[in-house]
Amino acid sequence: MLHTTSLLRRVADNSQYELQIIYTQINRDLQSRPTFTQHTYHLNSRQYFNPASLVKLPVCLLSLEKLNDLKKPNLTRRSIMATGTAFRCQTAVPFATPADSDRTATVGNYIKRMLLVSDNVAYNRLYEFLGQRPLNQRLHQLGYPNARITRRFAPCDTAANRHTNPITFFTATKDTIYHQPPQTNPTPYSSPLGPVRKGRAYQAGGRIIREPYDFTTANHLPLADITALLRLALFPETIPAPQRPHLTPQDYAFLRRYLHATPHESGFSLYKSQAYFDAYKKYLYYGRNPDRPHEKALRIYNIVGMSHGYLADVAYFADSLHQSEFLISAVLYLNQDGIINDGAYEYDTIGQPFLAQLGTQIRQYEAQRPRPTRPNLTEFFAPELIR
């Protein structure tokens, strides 16, 4: 399959792209219960890649869980959230109304912004809500001991990222629902892989530094882990109870809606602009091509990452036209000049076209693959009223 086109072959056969793929076939029994069979290509948990925005999915999951675990009356994903400051590199978001507006600071709106357009500021706010140590401890408890989420998407140093902001949730009339003081992780995290340095040089402050870039304290999320987390979000009943966060059916429905929705069909008022086209973050089929028509018979539930030359997409395809479904995860490295942070990456010319062809080829194969029972995809195409 990876040799059906010249572009697929070019990337698959060249180790400089550091390609990793997980393709998961899904088969259903007569009661529509799924089983998952993984096929991998060059999957290597010891090969570092920068996960970029892939870390937003576990942050979404654990933020909803934290709201539930706090058990505070009237505290929901729609509660108004104000963020203060208590350490360097922190920014504030003051109390603001109206409540339950797209523009109001709430956990729900931050999740929407992350899943619809991969908003970095929204991620920072929920990273701060969770706190660095509780976030990582919970991921380890759920079965992801090699995950490390240690950085905001902001130019904060390692120490500043260990300190997170005071946060207060309010009613619309500014009555306090819950106050969380500043949090500090006293022990820094580093990569479970040991020292990680990539590239031949990197750019900083307008200068080229002639040495590899150090990722040792950067975020780390193996491809197998983020694939499992997407499966958890979409098929929670297939995951053992101790490995599931404390989420309600409504939480899962909320995540599903915004994992697949395009910026326009979401109805989110911030994303009416044509800059947020339907293929904005559906690389594994549309390749971020604004002119490719959006297919109503295909729903893609996914999370993407694009940073430091790494391009990744982790997706579930539900195809009502061919009554087929599958999971596909891929990451590749696109940095021909070997300089990190210079902005000269081959995302548009190689990376996104490669992912589009890969998803297209697998969809075509899955459309004719024999399976014991055709899946009932109603749950993935049902009208969604949750907002």
Helix (H, G, I), strand (E, B) or coil at 174: coil
- Considering the domain 6-381 in this protein, what is its CATH number? 3.40.710.10
Q: Give the whole-angstrom CA distance, residue 104 versus residue 191.
A: 36
Helix (H, G, I), strand (E, B) or coil at 192: coil
What is the C-alpha end-to-end distance of the chain, expressed in Å? 39
Counting residues of the chain whose pLDDT is more than 90, the rounded percentage is 88
Question: How many C-beta atoms lie closer than 10 Å to residue 204's C-beta?
Answer: 11
Q: Give the whole-angstrom CA distance, residue 255 versus residue 271.
A: 18
Q: Give the whole-angstrom CA distance, residue 229 versus residue 316.
A: 12
Q: pLDDT tens for residues 212-271?
A: 999 999 999 999 999 999 999 999 999 999 999 999 999 999 999 999 999 988 888 889
Question: What is the DSSP track for 156-172?
Answer: --HHHHHEE--EEEE-T
Q: pLDDT tens for residues 48-80?
A: 999 999 999 999 999 999 999 999 999 999 999
Confidence of residue 385 (pLDDT cuts 50, 70, 90): low
What is the dihedral sign for C-alpha 197, 200, 206, 207?
positive
Residue 326 and residue 366 in contact, taking contact as beta carbons nearer than 8 Å: yes
pLDDT of residue 77: 97
Residue 113 and residue 123 in contact, taking contact as beta carbons nearer than 8 Å: no
Residue 123 and residue 63 in contact, taking contact as beta carbons nearer than 8 Å: no
Q: Where is 355: in which H helix or E strand?
A: helix 352-368
Confidence of residue 387 (pLDDT cuts 50, 70, 90): low
**Dmax of the chain from CA atoms?**
62
Bridge partner residues of 53 (DSSP) = none
What does the domain layout of the chain look like in residue ranges? 6-381
